[in-house]
């Protein structure tokens, strides 16, 4: 092999290496884009699910005949549940709220409606808390 052929072989080898590197970069970018799109789809589904839960809570509160103080109590405790850092904290908030509901002098209907609202919120929030990485 003469000098010219050796130089062409080196250049050809370098071109092949660069083409393979470019292909790997493009495949990585494609994989990242697909992963991003998958995450966005999952996030959109979670937002949809959470939004539907909120509308169910509002409907439940409207139909429950609770007074303004009771509705505020429900909303405050829902906010506390949502801010819970983990399942243990959510369970503590849930138990405390149920104890307050049952200790107060409310009608049986109000107690039932408040319990139903908290059960719904709790069952919606806890699975989301379980997904949070520890």
Q: Do 78 and 95 fall within a single domain?
A: yes
pLDDT number for residue 24? 95
Q: Do 79 and 52 fall within a single domain?
A: no
- Angle at 104 (CA atoms; ends 92, 97), nearest 5 degrees: 15
What is the tens place of the pLDDT at every residue in 19-40? 999 999 999 999 988 988 888 7
The answer to whether residues 61 and 71 touch, using CB atoms and an 8 Å cutoff, is: yes
Domain end marker among 19, 45, 63: 63
What is the tens place of the pLDDT at every residue in 83-117? 888 888 888 988 888 887 777 656 677 777 777 77
The per-residue b/e assignment along 68-77, b for 16 or more CB within 10 angstroms, e otherwise, is eebeebbeeb
Q: Do 73 and 123 fall within a single domain?
A: yes
Q: Do 77 and 107 fall within a single domain?
A: yes
Q: Do 52 and 5 fall within a single domain?
A: yes
Q: Do 6 and 50 fall within a single domain?
A: yes
What are the tokens at 106?
């409310």
Q: Do 59 and 75 fall within a single domain?
A: no
Give residue 87's domain range.
Answer: 66-134
Q: Do 49 and 88 fall within a single domain?
A: no
Q: Do 75 and 132 fall within a single domain?
A: yes
Global confidence as pTM: 0.45
User: How many distinct structural domains can be found in the chain?
Assistant: 2
């Amino acid at each position: 092999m003469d000098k010219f052929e050796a130089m062409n072989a080196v250049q050809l080898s370098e071109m092949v290496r660069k083409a393979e590197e470019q292909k790997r970069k493009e495949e990585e970018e494609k994989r990242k884009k697909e992963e991003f799109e998958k995450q966005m789809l999952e996030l959109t589904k979670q937002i949809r699910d959470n939004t539907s839960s909120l509308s169910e809570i509002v409907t439940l509160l409207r139909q429950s005949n609770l007074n303004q103080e009771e509705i505020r109590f429900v909303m405050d405790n829902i906010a506390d549940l949502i801010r819970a850092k983990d399942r243990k904290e959510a369970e503590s908030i849930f138990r405390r709220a149920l104890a307050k509901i049952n200790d107060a002098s409310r009608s049986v209907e109000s107690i039932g409606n408040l319990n139903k609202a908290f059960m719904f919120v709790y069952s919606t929030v806890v699975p989301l808390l379980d997904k949070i990485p520890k």
